[in-house]
Amino acid sequence: MLRGVGPQLGARLAARGVTTLQDLWLHLPLRYEDRTRLTPIRLLRAGESAQVHGRIEAVERAFRGRPVLKVAVGDASDGTLVLRFFHFHAAQAKALRIGASIVCHGEVRAGQLGLEMVHPGYRVLDEDAPPHLSDRLDPVYPAIEGVGPVQLARIIGAALDYLPQDDVLELLPDGLWGDLSLPRWHEAVRFLHRPPPGVDLSDLARHRHPAQLRLALEELLSHQLSLRRQRLAVKQLGAQAFYPSERFARRLAATLPFALTAAQQRVLGDISRDLAHPEPMLRLVQGDVGSGKTIVAAFAALAAIESGAQVALMAPTELLAEQHAQSFRQWFEPLGIELVWLAGKVKGKAREAALARIAGGASLVVGTHALLQEPVRFANLALVIVDEQHRFGVRQRLVLRDKGASGTQVPHQLVMTATPIPRTLAMTAYADLDVSVIDELPPGRTPVQTVAINEHRRDEVIQRIRAACNEGRQAYWVCTLIEESDDPTAPGVPKIEARAAETAYDLLRQQLPDVRVGLIHGRMKPAEKQATMMAFKSGDIQLLVATTVIEVGVDVPNASLMLIENAERLGLAQLHQLRGRVGRGAAASSCVLMYKAPLSPLARERLAVMRETTDGFRIAEKDLELRGPGEFLGTRQTGLAGFRIADPVRDAALLPHVQVAADALLATAPHIADRLIDRWIGHAVRYADA
């Protein structure tokens, strides 16, 4: 234990995963503050961080709206800078007196009275005392709860005194990074904690300094190796191999009113080859909304069923799971294949009967999280299909897989997503999966025309919906969160969204008395939701007012117009998923993004991307750029959100080097791979085989 780190402080560090000297060495700065020099106020520029020294020329305390303390500082360059404080106490205001000498550091921005700093760091100096300048850049570290920034910097500084000056901690062999000229490990770590004065701050800010690249490469390599190791471990397990005669597949193909696209056939070929091997398939099928993933899953299921095995298909919502059950019944019942449906709403004797049929060997089981419950027993589960895999926690997918585990054999796994995974992210986060892409839409689909309009034009949109419904088409009116909280995870949000949808429903029924309007939201009972969707699908409902519950999987080909209220509040992925509910038939389709002005720069950029393209991969790349990898991946526990220095998006150019290095280490020095994984990832549970 370091001197000064007692049990209480040690517990706070441990709660963040910091338990060793190496953990402290790798708790790397987020950014740097330059207190090595002073900048004359007249030379300050908005958007830059700087340190200035001057005298206080004026002080003003205002209490309109909320308290604010404004302090005007001047210096020998005849410049004036305003310091603005919204949170201050009486002693602070008393110390900031006219005539006092002050040094302050912060980000400069344009204010109403000229340039200003909001809540800068500052020191009031003794009369005529010279300002103290640092001899190096000051690191700003990621916060640890219960540990102040000064205390954290002191602890890390003490740990650096134990960092070796030689290559004793160097794990990588010379030449691994080819012709890249990079520092040694200990040099890179020491430099990033204690960069000398005069270093180009722009290089550090852009993460292009060789010391940053050296550690980012090693961190990316450790994640790549960890995922590959997990993949190899899964491959060591056994699985049932399928060699179907394809009589079921031929009969199904003959009944379909369409032919599979070349992309669907290619992906199905990947799956068939996997299923013919006595090792578990672990394949991710990604395809844009409407690309036809479900029918591919159906053909995969037939290969297992014809071989005498059971198949389980799990979807995240009852609405989507029931829609899958209906599609599969339509395809499979003529083949004499037994299907069992299981969801939370299946109760009493119906539930007992379903459980008995599953235990008795029913060929296909379709359901929700209910499939994970303890009483559910399979006779011979050999293929697990998970739709919209990012909606499930990793543990949940493992529970379902383990229901088919027998001895050393586990089921094959096919996971599907309509969220296109950008190539850079797939190389980093999905190295443990075989990835297939359905990159072609079925023929006859027309691109959806997307427009963004101000909410003031609401009446125009309502007239457009009336015209579309009078022509025999159908439409969606999607209500998003419009009250109280911007946080979609905040308590009560479904209630607020439901209330917004009910209000819109009442208003639209008044304004469109000649249109049959329906309502669906997440707080309705499952039977009510299902009845409403069936009425919409059959055409009894012309306009469906809905919350984002209809985001995934709802298929009504006659619906050709969608209005999304408060579209500026949604992310790109959700907007794209919602838009995918129209354009599923031959009719020209439109999506109207109605927004409330003024738009933030981020919202304006999102709406512009939606107008410009319907390409899911381009949208996904932009979404990843705007949100970052941790949020983009949702519940997938790959550790991406916890990268210390690397960023798979920013550092995409490094990934080819990482893959070459991973191949070399696994082939020639697997013991080094173990040590790298331990250094950067430690003993974190990865569940990468899920």
pLDDT tens profile 381-419: 999 999 876 666 566 777 888 899 888 899 999 999 877
Write down the pLDDT at residue 239: 95
Cα–Cα distance, 515 to 475 (Å, whole number) = 11
**99 CB contacts (<8 Å, ≥6 apart)?**
55, 56
495: pLDDT strictly greater than 70: no
Q: Quick check: is 654 in a domain?
A: no
Q: The dihedral of CA 229, 231, 233, 236: what is its sign?
A: negative
Asked if 373 and 288 sit in the same domain, the reply is yes
DSSP lists the bridge partners of residue 172 as none
Do 76 and 13 belong together in one domain?
A: no
How far is it, in rounded angstroms, from Cα 183 to Cα 206?
18
104 in the same domain as 160: no
pTM beyond 0.75: the answer is no
pLDDT category at 628 given cuts 50, 70, 90 is: low
CA distances (Å), origin 349, targets 142, 315, 376, 479: 55, 23, 15, 38
Helix (H, G, I), strand (E, B) or coil at 132: coil
Residue 30 vs residue 429, higher pLDDT: 30
Rounded Cα distance between 333 and 462, Å, is 42
Residues 530 and 433 in one domain: no
On the question of pLDDT at 509 being above 90, the answer is yes
Domain that residue 82 falls in:
37-125
pLDDT tens, position by position, 197-219: 778 878 888 899 999 999 999 99
Task: Kindly provide the b/e burial profile for residues 621-654, where b requires at least 16 CB atoms within 10 angstroms of the residue's own CB.
Answer: bbbbebbbbbebbeebbbbbeebebbbbbbbeeb
In a domain, 489, yes or no: yes
Taking the C-alpha atoms of residue 397 and residue 369, their distance in angstroms, rounded to an integer, is 10
**Residue 394 shares a structural domain with residue 412:** yes
What average pLDDT score do residues 64-74 get? 87
Q: Are 512 and 597 in contact (CB under 8 A)?
A: no
Q: Residue 208: inside a domain, yes or no?
A: no
Q: Report if residue 180 sits inside a domain.
A: yes
Label the pairing between strands 80-85 and 68-74. Answer: antiparallel
For residue 433, give both structure tokens: 């999966």
- Among residues 568, 597, 613, the one where a domain terminates is 613
459 and 574 part of one domain? yes
Report how far residue 437's alpha carbon sits from residue 264's, in angstroms, rounded to the nearest whole number: 9
What's the mean pLDDT in 561-581? 90
| pLDDT classification of 552: cutoffs 50, 70, 90 | low
Alpha-helix residue ranges (DSSP H) falling in 557-651: 572-579, 601-612, 616-627, 629-633
Same domain, 262 and 390: yes
pLDDT per residue as tens digits for the range 255-300 = 998 899 999 999 999 999 999 999 999 898 988 877 889 999 999 9
- Sign of the Cα torsion 198, 200, 205, 210 reads negative
- Domain end position, chosen among 395, 418, 438: 438
Starting from the edge strand earliest in sequence, which strands make up the sheet with 121-125, in order?
109-111, 114-118, 80-85, 68-74, 49-62, 101-107, 121-125
CATH code of the domain covering residue 499: 3.40.50.300
Q: What is the pLDDT of residue 639?
A: 42
Tell me if 382 is assigned to some domain. yes
* Residue 684 neighbours by CB under 8 Å, 6+ apart: 639, 642
Are both 492 and 358 inside the same structural domain?
no
The pLDDT value recorded for residue 684 is 53
Asked if 364 and 301 count as a contact pair (C-beta separation under 8 A), the reply is yes
| In-domain check, residue 634 | no
pLDDT reported for residue 489: 37
| Predicted confidence band of residue 635 (pLDDT cuts 50, 70, 90) | very low
What residues have CB less than 8 Å from 272, skipping those under 6 apart?
300, 303
**For position 633, what pLDDT does the model report?**
54
> Is residue 224 one of the residues assigned to a domain?
no
Mean of the per-residue pLDDT values for the chain?
A: 87
In angstroms, what is the C-alpha Rg of the chain?
30
Residue 276 and residue 147 share a domain: no
pLDDT digits (tens, 9 = 90+) for 653-679: 898 899 899 999 999 999 999 899 999
> Span 131-142, mean pLDDT?
88
Model confidence at 144: pLDDT above 80: yes
Yes or no: say if 546 and 596 are a contact pair by the CB < 8 Å rule: no
Confidence at 638, pLDDT banded by 50, 70, 90 = very low
Number of domains present in the structure of the chain: 4
Predicted pLDDT of residue 62: 82
Which residues partner with 286 through β-bridges? 417, 437
How high is the pLDDT of residue 636?
42
Q: Which of 327, 297, 309 is nearest to 414 (CA)?
A: 297
Q: Among 339-343, 483-487, 592-596, which stretch is predicted with the lowest mean pLDDT?
A: 483-487
User: In terms of domains, do 291 and 433 share one?
Assistant: yes
pLDDT of residue 553: 53
Can the peptide bond before residue 598 be classed as cis, meaning omega within 30 degrees of 0? yes
Looking at 43-89, list the stretches that DSSP marks H as alpha helix, in order from N- to C-terminal side.
none
Clarify whether residues 91 and 106 are in a common domain.
yes
Dihedral pair phi/psi, residue 32, rounded to 5°: -135, 150
Q: Indicate if 189 and 329 belong to the same structural domain.
A: no
Which sign, positive or negative, has the C-alpha torsion 173, 174, 180, 181? Answer: positive
Note the pLDDT of residue 169: 93
Residue 677 tokens read as 């994984």
Q: Is residue 660 part of a domain?
A: no
Q: Binning pLDDT at 50, 70 and 90, where does residue 192 land?
A: very high
Rounded CA gap, 375 and 359, in Å? 10
CATH number at residue 76: 2.40.50.140
Distance (Å, rounded) from C-alpha 224 to C-alpha 617? 23
pLDDT at position 298 is 97
Q: pLDDT tens for residues 10-66?
A: 999 998 889 999 999 999 998 888 888 999 999 999 988 899 999 999 999 887 767
Q: Are strands 474-478 and 559-564 parallel, antiparallel or unpaired?
A: parallel
Out of 97, 125, 153, pick the residue that ends a domain.
Answer: 125
CA–CA distance, 258 with 16 (Å, rounded to integer): 54
